[in-house]
Structure 1
């Protein structure tokens, strides 16, 4: 009989084999609610805990105490024949007062770095009980990963020691960050008595890192390295794009012996290839590991974008059910963006005649994310009341706005009341993107 309290590592892994090939509803007698997955995120985890015999509680000890192993449940989602991780994974709550007195060798966090990951696939419109379990992996950090986690831990500790924990951001860190915990309104005292209250946070592994674990150990991808991720990324971007700065797009394409396409996305396809993608649609390895995306921005010679910068479309019912700390937009923002300006004298300047400007690697700080959160909540409220049409326009917000992702085509989404509408997206405002990239630098 399996006993989670006394189970050894070998016994835990043998028990985990029973998850493979099953759905989350077939592994235990857990009863799922009819609420959407976004409103009942913990139910899948409770079902898997029940499979292992782990009761629902808030213990500080490991989920498998004798083995010192934590159990973490990770949702993945399939898009364009590739999987992405839907959310970060919290490791342990941060106690800022205790953190400042720790050293890395004896840090409480290190006791949480032996994890049995259980990956399941989230599927839209499917009952939670039918979500398939994709695989399991017992993870503990490699020397390279531990060095990066230690570096991220030290950066968070330094902020706490300086009384600047209130300035921490989900976007900080390479593979681990300080994620808000307990809701955006929950505040805690810092170690420095005179410092303002800080948001309650937890050490959390980033979605991009979790995706790499899934890709390597579940999907069978090559191991790769994290050396060029995170803080070295600006150097990588400069090395690969720097030589094209000041060149027309057509000239840069000839330099790489590439044929520049005629479609709207041809400039973006070229930039992706120049940054190291094997094809115009394949991932850029270093950027994907860092959770970073690339956006080409057509701008005036002064740096004013001709268009706002879009994110992938959202579904209104999903947005209505989200909380900011676990929202899709926050995950899309926290990895950061490489902005590549393409300078054209007019909006109608042919793409091949646009000049490549120096790229900007951007990650939002805590202040920016807080402003975006407030505007995001305004749009979420409009979705919940089925009033998206009357939500603020770009001219009425500071950083983000919402509008249809395309102006043509049939409605592809439904409002919370069931009306059929076009899919919408969040967009970064032109004025804010201009602040980020500044006046384009056109010299190598």
Structure 2
């Protein structure tokens, strides 16, 4: 079985993207990295986005680091998800950076979180630490859109978290807030700072925050699809 070639052009539709993703299932990260002439990092501590970047090369993603979906032409976001031997997610899933100022008039319907999660190509990848990065295998892909129930769960959490941000309580938000969506610091180091609103409406400087999907949410999502 020959290793697929890296894609040079974005996929023209969902079916083409899914076919490309399915062609990668079963290969190791090392096999794909070698074919694409990409160096494999010793681990993912400093290269958290490396697996996603490698798969983007094969799938033809065009967004790069722009704040839009990875496949803007067909409205699909790519999310790799590290799983254990039982198929359960090993970590939370980053969705997007949270806006901490200028939020008047923003609704769930117009939010960046909802836009990013409208249509997602999930690609599970072996993620247990004892497996060397080069021999971790890629799993079968899943194209997903939130059900009405999932959309409602996400909306409720998003509205609760955004209310706290707008009311100047960003510093009091913990990872325990939210049933399926959480807000956590998102920075390369603890020296990074961004502007936010303080308790008395004054500008403050704080760590940048990001929205993350909790493991319980992605675990159910994968379990339903793969009948785990």
The TM tier, using the shorter chain, reads 0.7 to 0.9
CA contact (8 A) 2:174 2:184 kept: no
What's the counterpart of residue 249 of structure 1?
Answer: 29
What's the counterpart of residue 203 of structure 2?
Answer: 418
1:255-299 alpha-carbon deviations (Å, 9 max, x no partner): x343244233221111001112479769xx993212211111111
Runs (5+) with no aligned partner, structure 1: 1-223
Cα pair distance change 1:320/1:376, threshold 3 Å:
farther
RMSD (CA atoms): 3.2
Runs (5+) with no aligned partner, structure 2: 1-8, 42-46
**Which residue among 160, 169, 175 is the counterpart of 1:378?**
160
Q: Secondary structure at the match of 2:109?
A: helix
Q: What TM-score do the two structures reach when normalised by structure 1? A: 0.42
What's the counterpart of residue 91 of structure 2?
Answer: 307
Shift of 1:392: 5.1
Q: Does 2:129 correspond to 1:350? A: no
Q: Matches of residues 26-425 of structure 1 in structure 2 within 5 Å?
A: 228-229=12-13, 233=14, 235-254=15-34, 256-262=35-41, 263-277=47-61, 287-319=71-103, 321-334=105-118, 336-344=119-127, 346-347=128-129, 349-391=131-173, 393-394=175-176, 397-406=178-187, 408-416=189-197, 417-425=202-210
1:100-148 alpha-carbon deviations (Å, 9 max, x no partner): xxxxxxxxxxxxxxxxxxxxxxxxxxxxxxxxxxxxxxxxxxxxxxxxx
Q: How many residues align?
A: 209
What's the counterpart of residue 438 of structure 1?
Answer: 223
What's the counterpart of residue 4 of structure 2?
Answer: none
Shift of 1:371: 1.5
Structure 1 or 2: more helix by fraction: 1
Cα pair distance change 1:371/1:276, threshold 3 Å:
same
CA contact (8 A) 2:161 2:178 kept: no
Cα pair distance change 1:425/1:228, threshold 3 Å:
same
CA contact (8 A) 2:78 2:121 kept: yes
Supply the distance in 2 between the matched residues of 1:257 and 1:428 (Cα, whole angstroms). Answer: 30
Cα pair distance change 1:248/1:239, threshold 3 Å:
same
Rg bigger for which structure?
Answer: 1
Supply the distance in 2 between the matched residues of 1:261 and 1:326 (Cα, whole angstroms). Answer: 38
What's the counterpart of residue 75 of structure 1?
Answer: none
Cα pair distance change 1:315/1:265, threshold 3 Å:
same
Q: Secondary structure at the match of 2:96?
A: coil
Q: Secondary structure at the match of 2:210?
A: strand
Cα pair distance change 1:343/1:391, threshold 3 Å:
same
Q: Secondary structure at the match of 2:72?
A: helix
Shift of 1:353: 2.3
What's the counterpart of residue 122 of structure 1?
Answer: none
Shift of 1:438: 2.9
Supply the distance in 2 between the matched residues of 1:411 and 1:252 (Cα, whole angstroms). Answer: 34
